[in-house]
Structure 1
């Protein structure tokens, strides 16, 4: 049978479309004007300009002593009728009155939300995904001295919508991205926008905690890498970030490959590519992990990654901060690598950073 498909049509449209907010600044003044314009545009495209602040009303749901840290489950409100549960991991060595750096640890898919990132292994499915993807990086950062905040993104874990709820293994590791994005886009919002908004509210809460020293950083794998990227790009309070398994050209990795609904924002591809968004983080330090066999990189593999990395490098160069970009290319598939990431974060934003520095 002969099929008459539209993919090549859309590939051609993408290739012939000039991104309206492509990074082309030649000095820091141009960068400032460009970055302000792109952030405003992303705010509009993602729908975060429609969201409204509310009191966080924090409440502690549980507190458990773990090996090397205390794990608190906390709930906050991010909009008037939206609640976000998260784990707060406090290293055992933190004494009363001591302040540490806050690290927001974002999860991706097949995680049961915050459970895998925080190293909660009671359920076999979660223990397996931790093993497969080195998913417990939130727990590992806590053991290295950071105050870790590991949230459930909307549609994951305790925030799954009705069609994805349940404790069966396939349900635990599922998500409601498609259902949420269909509802959201018809109302001018997006899943990415909801995630970024919630993470900003989590940053508000983290910076209000007495045990936090006024510094906040973020890290994440896959969809968590997307969250880490977008949070750092949109919120300049994020002083350092790690993006793992999510940095590649949109054409090959999202249009041709086709991926989860959470990746798609109306008119985003007419506005910017991923390297342009990554450039917004400059001159703040960023480490990007890429597995050389990660299928999400696209059909050209690293050839679809490196041009986007180069955009960030050029932005860093404007500030004389090329060393603030580190690209860790490792032998392997889609997973959190960590070999460079932990020590890199410690060297750029240590857990015991003093306030005001």
Structure 2
């Protein structure tokens, strides 16, 4: 027996919200000179810090504690460290230290995790964990370890909601819980307090940069950052708001918000920031990186690009390039396109380090 009725017409608000989106972007990049850009950059950074709730974050002593030091078979030394990022809020992370460290201007990279990879465990190449090994194979997720093998010191953190920082809802030994994150729950807790998941994680990465300075073993004022998917999102935001990041690789996360987060409205809660679309599109955020080196990596069939595919990416890249042209630095922004779906491609490393 059929217990429901067939609804032949639905009365939705999507079209109405599309129009609201089109009337937004009030703080878009309009600069025609370098001086106008620098003024826009300062004003937009101040605005975005407030929008994502950085003004709500509380500073404190880092109180770093080294929990373990292991020498891996490949010669990499892996340290596990925990720091205090806010009062009584702690962040564990791995540091991968190669036996011979680069003497380049940039010695250190932050390698930031995306979804469905168990946080730091995939990024740092914990192949001994079978569920993690599967995700590394699926997404090529061990880019932190790959960078360490190239001679860089790499910090691989658990961002909020991932790995050892999962909130109560996923604090079980179930494989799905271990692999996934509690972004949904964090978002529901944070937003009524005027905070966002993006803001909290951006803050924590800034504290990680503070830790590098406090440790004072490697160059800390010019650091690289790499991330795929949700890690690409955090790389974008951190690089946009903190000039200590001098090189960035953003993989699987550069596209227009309307196609990829309004039309594709089932993405993770950490993508959604109240009032953001009233002011900027993603390319405007990316424009805040100029004139620093950045590599954007896109996959042609990545579903997150939205229904228009790479066209949605190109439009945002053009906004970024406008900022780079003001500095005569178009050579510092590159776009690496790969075939297939949502995945990190490590071919980006030799391309990036020779650009």
- Quickly name the TM-score band, shorter chain normalised: over 0.9
Q: Is the CA contact 1:292–1:332 (under 8 Å) kept in the aligned structure 2?
A: yes
Which residue in 2 is equivalent to 1:69?
Answer: 76
Pick closer, same or farther for the CA change 1:269–1:316 going to 2, 3 Å.
same
The one of 309, 314, 319 equivalent to 1:311 is 319
Asked if the contact 1:100/1:145 (under 8 Å) is kept, the reply is no
Question: Counterparts of 1:198-213 in structure 2 under 5 Å?
Answer: 198-213=204-219
Q: 2:237 aligns with which of 225, 230, 237?
A: 230
- Would the aligned equivalents of 2:247 and 2:294 in 1 still touch at CA under 8 Å? yes
- Where does residue 330 of structure 2 map in the other structure? 322
Match of 1:290 in 2: 298
Q: Any residues of structure 2 matched to 1:155-166 within 5 Å, and which?
A: 155-166=161-172
Secondary structure of 2:248's match?
strand
Aligned match of 1:59 in 54, 62, 65?
65
Change (3 A) 1:27 1:98: closer
For residue 332 of structure 1, report the CA deviation from its aligned partner: 1.3
Mark the CA change 1:331 to 1:100 in structure 2 (over 3 Å): closer, same or farther.
Answer: closer
Q: 1:30 is matched with which residue?
A: 36
1:103-140 CA-to-partner distances (Å, cap 9, x unmatched) read 00000000100000000022221110000000000000
Query: SS of the residue aligned with 1:247?
Result: coil
Q: Deviations over 1:63-113 (max 9, x none)?
A: 111113111110000111110000000002249x99971100000000100
Whether 1:253 and 2:231 are equivalent positions in the alignment is no
Consecutive unaligned residues in structure 2, runs of 5 or more: 1-6
1:114 aligned to 2:123? no
Distance 2:40 2:259 in 1: 26
Q: Distance in 1 between matches of 2:104 and 2:236?
A: 29
Distance in structure 1 (CA, Å) of the matches to 2:19 and 2:307: 16
2:156 pairs, out of 147, 150, 160, with: 150
Between the aligned partners of 1:135 and 1:162, the Cα distance in structure 2 is 25
**Per-residue deviation, 1:173:** 1.1
DSSP 3-state at the match of 2:66: strand
> Secondary structure of 1:347's match?
coil
Q: Which residue of 2 aligns with 1:270?
A: 278
Q: Distance in 1 between matches of 2:216 and 2:289?
A: 27
Number of residue pairs matched?
345
- Normalising to structure 1: TM-score of the pair? 0.94
Deviation at 1:210, TM superposition (A): 3.3
Compared CA separation, residues 98 and 7, structure 1 to 2 (3 A): closer
Of 7, 15, 33 in structure 1, the residue corresponding to residue 14 of structure 2 is 7
Cα RMSD between the aligned structures?
1.6
Deviation at 1:20, TM superposition (A): 1.5
Residue 353 of structure 2: SS of its match in structure 1? helix
Kept in 2: contact 1:107–1:114 (CA 8 A): yes
Deviations, residues 175-216 of structure 1 (Å, cap 9, x unaligned): 111111111110000000000000000011123333312331
Q: In the TM superposition, what is the alpha-carbon distance from 1:256 to its structure 2 partner?
A: 0.8
Q: SS of the residue aligned with 1:19?
A: coil
* Aligned residue number for residue 192 of structure 1: 198
Report the Cα offset of residue 272 of structure 1: 0.3
Contact 2:187 2:197 in 1 (8 A): yes
Q: Is the 8 A contact 1:108 1:223 kept in 2?
A: yes
Which aligned runs of 4 or more in structure 1 are off by greater than 4 angstroms? Answer: 97-100
